[in-house]
Structure 1
């Protein structure tokens, strides 16, 4: 199917619900695709709008119904929402009822004290801007992006509840909370009649904090789902850096990945993981995606893409058999927590 910039007659693939599985989000009634699409990177003004549109539409054709955004994503801030909003208005508007759109607020997007944090002012003002960016009158999931210890949790939760009561969000999520604060937020939300739907946390073979700090167990006990970001550890769980840092790679120009972490220890461990993936007939990226989805508490894994080919490749992770106990033991042996991440 063509997604050219002048072809505005997009019709979604009739087979879009046959490619990937859908998983229930905690104790809610909402199903999310095993893979969700994140617009954290490569959806700012510094990337081709035509390529962005092509990737978004390909994702939907593959059965990815959930598109994850935030007021902070760009560059500049809000650009990713605005770019997605154009595709929504042009191509996906008639499929709005089949889409799960999420956005977040709370991380700094400017010098003003009202452009960060968990206050009622910051969260609800940002949500109004995000709805205008996206060109929709509601989002399906509204997240507090990061915990704010300087604001009473009751105020933050109250703002999230108001978003639902005002019809501007259907569900509420939190992101990057430690288990104790996540549990407290879940309790407050439950008491207000707006149960916590989901927690967004970083999780990968090389970053195992959600299973080490008890977050996954908290999710199970409190009945919320977990959606994981950076399942490929910013590209470290691919074969990209096994022979050094290629020109144009993320490690050369990203604030989230330092070239200093790509050392001999990293390469030795990653090479062993790549050998295991090859023995299974898949790539390391596909192995890493399967690994995060093995946990029943994990509802969905957020993936990005700079091309439709990369998107197709990652989605193909669903085509491989489940990891065996022996394979999981090998991953534990070589996939050491903190590798390449300065944890």
Structure 2
């Protein structure tokens, strides 16, 4: 049966202006870093994306190397766009990035003009699109002049391959330079994508000030700290969890043990607010950033996380209690 989007999909999701631009992003965006590659059942990937859209998530965040294999997540999105979402293309924000290792040789990594433009062309082909809505430099390049990297983003926008330019994981100082170069070129940088969560607050030491001054929006990846800020680890490390996977270097059992007391204390506040720990953690991050990127392996996780928008306000007392807990590390 052909997919038909939910008629009420825009009724509950807040949409927030991205910096000093005309673009609005949903408070909750769906990231396709994990669980959308060719090692996962397509039917589950499809179910998650369509449920996300039905719940008002209009922004789907990808990158050239998301998989596995690299490129597979974009191929999944391409199939979804062709078979289910073609009629809704103008209601969607599709973003992609280039900056991490994608292919062999000296031209498949970092931030050269050669790499970024070639990668953008490949991403468009995989997704069957004429353009993406946002194209990012995925990380700063310590060797390529920032003028070249930003010049490539400017060219991509001017060629109609992307509507907006963005950067990811740039420091405050790098962001200030990148923003100025792009502004001078006439293609403003509208968004920065940093890691940010209760347990990863580096952007508060300078970057948020730069973003405000440059009139840029922000969208946080890993707002749940790879699952630490959920109920997944409240009672230890499950055998089938990400932390228990020896191949996972982002989240380890040691990190869980280090944060366990904090997780339990934060969960008490969340319960008092009528939220899950994940919902409260997303709401907390949304005080600082324009949107948060959630990951998911099943539809129920998306449904739970979207529930965060039902209570985005915090009292001064709640914020003070949270801050005391976070300072205990």
TM-score under structure 1 length normalisation: 0.93
Gaps of 5+ in 1: 1-6
Counterparts of 1:10-159 in structure 2 under 5 Å?
Answer: 10-159=3-152
1:255 Cα offset (Å) = 3.0
Find the residue that maps to 1:57 and give its secondary structure.
helix
Contact persistence 1:141–1:169 (CA under 8 A): yes
Find the residue that maps to 1:252 and give its secondary structure.
coil
2:220 aligned partner: 228
2:234 aligned partner: 242
1:260 aligned partner: 254
2:320 is equivalent to residue 329 of structure 1: yes
Aligned partner of 1:314 among 300, 305, 312: 305
* Count of residues in correspondence between the two structures: 327
RMSD: 1.1
Could you tell me how far apart the structure 1 residues matched to 2:200 and 2:309 are?
22
Could you tell me how far apart the structure 2 residues matched to 1:242 and 1:36 are?
25
Find the residue that maps to 1:184 and give its secondary structure.
helix
Aligned partner of 1:189 among 171, 182, 192: 182
Deviates more, 1:175-184 or 1:312-321: 312-321
Find the residue that maps to 1:170 and give its secondary structure.
strand
1:321 Cα offset (Å) = 5.3
Contact persistence 1:54–1:308 (CA under 8 A): yes
2:285 is equivalent to residue 286 of structure 1: no
1:110 Cα offset (Å) = 3.2
Contact persistence 1:206–1:336 (CA under 8 A): no
Contact persistence 2:35–2:297 (CA under 8 A): yes
Q: Deviations over 1:182-233 (max 9, x none)?
A: 010100100111000100000000100011x211111110011000010000
Contact persistence 2:284–2:312 (CA under 8 A): no
1:336 Cα offset (Å) = 4.0
Could you tell me how far apart the structure 2 residues matched to 1:89 and 1:291 are?
36
Contact persistence 1:219–1:225 (CA under 8 A): yes
Change (3 A) 1:10 1:113: same
Find the residue that maps to 2:80 and give its secondary structure.
helix
Contact persistence 1:41–1:74 (CA under 8 A): yes
Contact persistence 1:179–1:218 (CA under 8 A): yes
Could you tell me how far apart the structure 2 residues matched to 1:241 and 1:34 are?
25
Q: Deviations over 1:297-327 (max 9, x none)?
A: x111001211111111110011125111110
Find the residue that maps to 2:121 and give its secondary structure.
helix
Could you tell me how far apart the structure 2 residues matched to 1:336 and 1:151 are?
38
Could you tell me how far apart the structure 2 residues matched to 1:336 and 1:262 are?
17
Contact persistence 1:43–1:80 (CA under 8 A): yes
Gaps of 5+ in 2: none
Could you tell me how far apart the structure 2 residues matched to 1:267 and 1:304 are?
21
